């Protein structure tokens, strides 16, 4: 389960960079939506390891 969560988290983080870049290439009326989606993707990619995976107490 942890490997899947890490893979999804990395995918979301990298895809947020792509969304940030595409925000300047799409028409003006969609630019804010695409950029906001990039922000939410980056936030979710950080929320997965912080909240869903829990602590590693050794």
Residue 57 domain-assigned (yes or no): no
For 1-52, write each residue's pLDDT tens digit: 688 888 999 999 999 999 999 999 999 999 999 999 999 999 999 998 887 7
Q: What are phi and psi of 56, to 5 degrees?
A: -110, 95
Number of domains present in the structure of the chain: 1
Statement: residue 54 has pLDDT above 80 = no
16 contacts 39 by C-beta, under 8 angstroms: yes
Cβ count near 45 (within 10 Å): 18
Residue 37 domain-assigned (yes or no): yes
Looking at residue 51, its pLDDT comes to 78
Looking at residue 49, its pLDDT comes to 82
Residue 58 domain-assigned (yes or no): no
In which domain, by residue range, is 40 found? 2-52
Looking at residue 3, its pLDDT comes to 85
CA distance 9 to 17: 13
22 contacts 41 by C-beta, under 8 angstroms: no
Looking at residue 57, its pLDDT comes to 64
Residue 8 domain-assigned (yes or no): yes
């Amino acid at each position: 389960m942890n490997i899947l969560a890490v893979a999804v988290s990395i995918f979301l983080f990298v895809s947020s960079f792509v969304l940030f870049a595409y925000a300047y290439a799409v028409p003006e009326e969609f630019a804010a939506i695409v950029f906001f989606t990039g922000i939410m993707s980056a936030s979710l990619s950080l929320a997965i390891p912080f909240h869903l995976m829990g602590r590693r107490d050794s």
